[in-house]
Amino acid sequence: MDKDTLITEIKGVGEKTAALFHKLGIHTVGDVLLYYPKTYIRFPEWKRADEVTEGETAAVFGRLAGSPVVRKARSMQVTAASVREMGVSLHLVWFRMPYLKNSLHAGESYVFYGKVLRKNGTLTMEQPVVYAEEQYKSMERLFFPVYAVSKGLSNNLIRKTVRAALSFENLFPDFLPEYVREKYRLPEYNYALKQIHFPDDMDAVIAARKRLVFDELFLFVLGIQYQKEKKEREENRFSLAKDGYAEELILKLPYELTGAQQRVLEEIGRDMRGPHVMQRLIQGDVGSGKTILAFLAMADCAHNGLQSALMAPTEVLASQHYDSFRKLCEQFGLKFPVILLTGSMTAKQKRDAYDRLKLFPNAMIIGTHALIQERAVYRKLGLVITDEQHRFGVKQREAFSEKGQTPHILVMSATPIPRTLAIILYGDLDISVVDEVPARRLPIKNCVVDIRYRPKAYRFIEDEVKRGHQAYVICPLVEESENMDAENVADYAARLREELPPEIQIGILHGQMKAAQKNEVMEQFAANEIQVLVSTTVVEVGVNVPNATVMMIENAERFGLAQLHQLRGRVGRGDAQSYCIMINTSDTKESGKRLEILNRSNDGFEIAAEDLKLRGPGDFFGIRQSGEMQFALADIYQDASVLKDAADEVRELLGTDPGLTMPEHEKLCRYLEQFLNDRKNRLNL
């Protein structure tokens, strides 16, 4: 058995269970082992009933005061019992578990593990897990991994499957040269895999994570630089006139471009008229005006008889760009064809779009991944723009190169990565920074508050809706989790429906919904058919809704600062004053200090730099960024020092052995080639 063996070969995984794993992208034994925990449970020392407090997750050791009682409530069976200590009772409740009446006996002692609530004035533990005394003692202080689950897959089943996969010794050859491991004191790879899933202690978690994070960042940077070494810069085969056309269009704008926008536009124009094909990243904070730069660059191409394509991460955003580009062409009196191509279009609509791609050599084309599908054939593609780089990979950009002559590449990202890190992460691109926000935009007003502010926040949202505006409410979870105490979209939307007047339409949005459902919800929100959208961070890259003026973020301490800033950037896009309300449910000084940075600043680059300073090695999973580069464990802010070490090592390695042909690099070369092929296959390219 090896890492490519199908998971059905693991004992206990049949076809039905395998289908559930497939929904998580797990197909092989290797996939199982690379499906890392998102956090750990550590079972605490047990307490007595009189020692617990409301709100804590505790293990309570006690003797049952009487036999469990089963009663019917709202068409389900409820089992109830209690333990009592020093005059204090803890009420125990289980839903749909009547069989416990026969397994729990009055007068016997057990350990009950769960969250303590106060209901009707009584301390209560709902759905507690029951352990025998010796059984619990054997688990006390151990680390139990907690995984992201999908319907039908429990944490217990994933743990069991991971344990079975780990029983096969050394499935992965250690590709990292021994001298690199020794230099950074990194453990052996298979040992690190075992310890990240079932660590012996905290030191083992730290060592395992350090190794696996180093691997992710090392391979990422090495992949970029290795391919860059093998591939010389392409010659620019397109001829663009130096007639100041873009400058003429700028004069027709109803507003002035910022100095940063003008500088970046000059860099783009110079690149497209230079000797080599452009490979440029535009980093610009939310609201800095990158979209108009994309339009002006595409119009420059169209004026010179070249096609250009803008690939957006979502269909809703693609449709919005399409509408705004058509309006801009109308406004400027431009006769350039604007074409939309997305995956959900009908067969007839797609055929029409394909025909127009072949017909118009100066078309401005907007779309999603459908732009790089086999049937999309371009007549004269001169420029490709990808919106939100962290949603796309290097390989997607290269896919455009296979569609005729190699086009110029422009990548736009609103992720405020400090320049030192951006140079490493985007090693194959030149970097431009749009570091000014248009003066016409009102700064967002921020506040960081605790849960006591919620009722006031609901009234504030109600008032904003009455004024004709809309609001986002962000929750960390899709639905209630047994492993995490945080707000979830499903329950929160139900709560808001009780808190807000019935005429206010409330919608929900999360990543587990199908693409068509997500698009429909976002379109309804954009059309103000939904006034309050309760969502996970899936809206981080979403449609532009200038009418939305409130961003309320629950459990704000659970998100990275850069991501909070991205979410905040969903509002403040219109003329009205906008607000960001961050609910901090933690009472730690650290979370308060972090969120205060956002409270006082709307500058994404300043926030990213501060985030970099504040991140500590203790935050393994809780505040990882989502989106950027799609790393499984690594966090470019928290792990900035590891990223720099990995980049230094790559530079030294390729400096002495650019082709990775030396004997000590043989395993690394094979692994890298496989890594790059796997990444290409996963992107369906």
pLDDT (average), residues 403-415? 82
- Secondary structure string (H, E, C) spanning 419-443: HHHHHHHCCCCEEEEECCCCCCCCC
Task: Report the relative pairing of strands 76-85 and 129-131 from DSSP bridges.
Answer: unpaired
Q: What's the pLDDT score for residue 235?
A: 87
Per-residue pLDDT at 202 exceeds 70: yes
Scanning 41-93, the segments in alpha helix (DSSP H) are: none
Burial 544-582 (b: 16+ CB within 10 A, else e): bbebbbbbbbbbbbbbbbbbbbbbbbbbbbbebebbbbb
Of the candidates 394, 348, 339, 347, the residue with the CA atom closest to the CA atom of residue 368: 339
The DSSP output letter for 665 is G
pLDDT at 502 over 80: yes
Q: Is the pLDDT of residue 573 over 70?
A: yes
pLDDT value of position 395: 61
Lowest mean pLDDT among 9-13, 317-321, 553-557, 615-619: 615-619
Q: What are the extents of the domains in the chain? A: 1-42+152-171, 44-140, 245-434, 445-601
Helix (H) or strand (E) holding 228: helix 202-230
**Would you state the structure tokens that stand for residue 667, as one six-digit string?**
């395993």
408 has a pLDDT exceeding 90: yes
Looking only at the bridges linking them, the beta strands covering 307-311 and 381-387 are parallel
Residue 324 makes CB contacts below 8 A (sequence gap 6+) with: 291, 295
Percent of the chain with pLDDT over 70: 91
Q: Which CATH fold topology does 445-601 show?
A: Rossmann fold (3.40.50)
* Euclidean distance between CA atoms 629 and 632, whole angstroms: 9
pLDDT tens digits, one per residue of 448-482:
999 899 999 999 999 999 999 999 999 988 765 54
Output the CA–CA distances (angstroms, integers) from residue 479 to 476, 508, 510, in the order listed. 9, 11, 10
Calculate the average pLDDT of the chain. Answer: 86
> What is the per-residue pLDDT across 311-363, written as a single tens digit (0 to 9) for each?
988 788 888 899 999 999 998 999 999 999 998 899 999 999 999 999 999 99
What per-residue confidence (pLDDT) applies to 393? 53
User: Residues 382-390: what's their mean pLDDT?
Assistant: 76
Q: How far apart (Å, rounded) are the C-alpha atoms in residues 402 and 409?
A: 13
pLDDT confidence of residue 684: 41
Burial class (CB in 10 A: 0-12, 13-18, 19+), 92: buried
**What span, in angstroms and rounded, lies between the C-alpha atoms of 623 and 560?**
5
Task: Write out pLDDT tens, residues 589-638.
Answer: 778 888 888 888 888 777 877 776 665 433 444 334 333 456 888 877 77
Give strand ranges (E) for 248-363: 279-284, 307-311, 338-341
At residue 463, the pLDDT reads 96
Q: Is 262 helix (H, G, I), strand (E, B) or coil?
A: helix
Q: Supply angle C-alpha 465, 468, 473, rounded to 5.
A: 35
**H or E stretch covering 542:** none
Architecture (CATH level 2) of domain 44-140: Beta Barrel (2.40)
Query: What pLDDT is stored for residue 628 in this prediction?
Result: 41
Strands 279-284 and 408-413: parallel
The number of helices, as runs of H, and strands, as runs of E, in the chain is: 23, 22
CA dihedral 423, 424, 427, 432 (to 10 degrees): -20
Same fold, 245-434 and 445-601: yes
Residue in the block written with tokens 């289980």: 94
Residue 127 has pLDDT above 80, yes or no: yes
- pLDDT of res. 624: 40
Distance of CA 325 to the CA centre of its chain: 28
Average pLDDT over residues 577-591: 87
CATH number assigned to the domain covering 1-42+152-171: 1.10.150.20
260-286 tens-digit pLDDT: 999 999 999 999 999 999 989 898 877
pLDDT at position 229 is 64
Q: What is the pLDDT of residue 399?
A: 73
The reported pLDDT for the residue numbered 680 is 57
- Considering the domain delimited by 245-434, tell me its CATH architecture: 3-Layer(aba) Sandwich (3.40)
C-alpha 367/C-alpha 309 separation (Å) is 8
Q: What is the pLDDT of residue 314?
A: 79
What burial letters (b/e) apply to 181-203, b meaning 16+ CB within 10 Å? beeeebbebbebbbbbbbbeeee
The pTM (predicted TM-score) of the whole model is 0.67
**pLDDT tens-digit map of 64-80:** 999 999 998 777 899 99
Instruction: Phi first, then psi: give them for residue 609, nearest 5 degrees.
Output: -65, -40
3-state SS, residue 305: coil
For residues 529 and 636, the model is more confident at: 529
Give the integer Cα–Cα distance in Å for 405 and 379.
10
Provide the pLDDT confidence category of residue 36 given band limits of 50, 70 and 90. very high
Q: Could you tell me which residue, 3 or 613, shows the higher pLDDT? A: 3
CA angle 513, 516, 519 (to 5 degrees): 90
**Cα angle 316-320-324, degrees, rounded to a multiple of 5:** 175
User: Alpha carbon of 543 to those of 489, 571, 584, 648: distances in Å?
Assistant: 19, 11, 26, 39
The sign of the dihedral angle between the CA atoms of 176, 617, 170, 224 is negative
